[in-house]
């Protein structure tokens, strides 16, 4: 079942990031939303998990420049603001999927 969380393809566009999963699900992310959820130590307090990144500092027009696979469990994005330290696990990305199906599926994640 771990297979369900694997990224099959990532397509970087100027206004969207499209991820197709190994179960055939398709996630369409706003680049800025993903940038704002960057899980790296500069953007998130490692102790508390609180987001330190000031959303005002991330440009509306931010774009993904590149994506690099990390092992077979995560993806590292390079953003047009030159930030690249965030490693997004597939599982994390899937929980961020903004589609209606996943939105209604959050359930007990409180
Ligand atoms: Zn970051
Ligand atoms: Zn979804």
Are the beta carbons of 102 and 96 closer than 8 angstroms? no
pTM to 2 decimal places: 0.87
| CATH of the domain spanning 2-105, picked from 3.30.2020.30, 3.40.50.720, 3.40.50.620, 3.40.50.1980 | 3.30.2020.30
Are the beta carbons of 22 and 91 closer than 8 angstroms? no
Q: Is the pLDDT of residue 106 over 60?
A: no
- Sequence spans of domains, the chain: 2-105
Tokens 């953007």 appear where? 43
Identify the bridge partners of residue 11 per DSSP, sorted by sequence position.
Answer: 18
Token output for 106: 């959050």
Q: Which ligand is nearest to the CA of 103?
A: 2
pLDDT for 103: 81
53: CA distance to ligand 1 center in Å? 8
Tokens 């940038």 appear where? 35
> How does DSSP classify residue 74?
E
Using one digit for the tens of pLDDT, what is the confidence trace for 28-49?
Answer: 999 999 999 999 999 999 999 9
pLDDT for 5: 80
As a whole-number percent, the residues of the chain with pLDDT over 70 amount to 91
């Amino acid at each position: 079942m771990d297979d369900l969380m694997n990224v099959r393809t990532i397509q970087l566009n100027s206004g969207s990031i499209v991820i197709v999963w190994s179960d055939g699900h398709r996630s369409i992310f706003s680049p800025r939303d993903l940038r704002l959820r960057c899980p790296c130590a500069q953007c998130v307090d490692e102790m508390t998990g609180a987001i330190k990144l000031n959303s005002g500092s991330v440009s509306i027009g931010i774009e993904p420049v590149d994506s690099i696979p990390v092992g077979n469990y995560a993806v590292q994005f390079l953003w047009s603001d030159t930030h690249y330290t965030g490693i997004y696990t597939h599982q994390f990305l899937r929980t961020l999927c903004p589609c209606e199906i996943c939105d209604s599926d959050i359930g007990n994640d409180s």
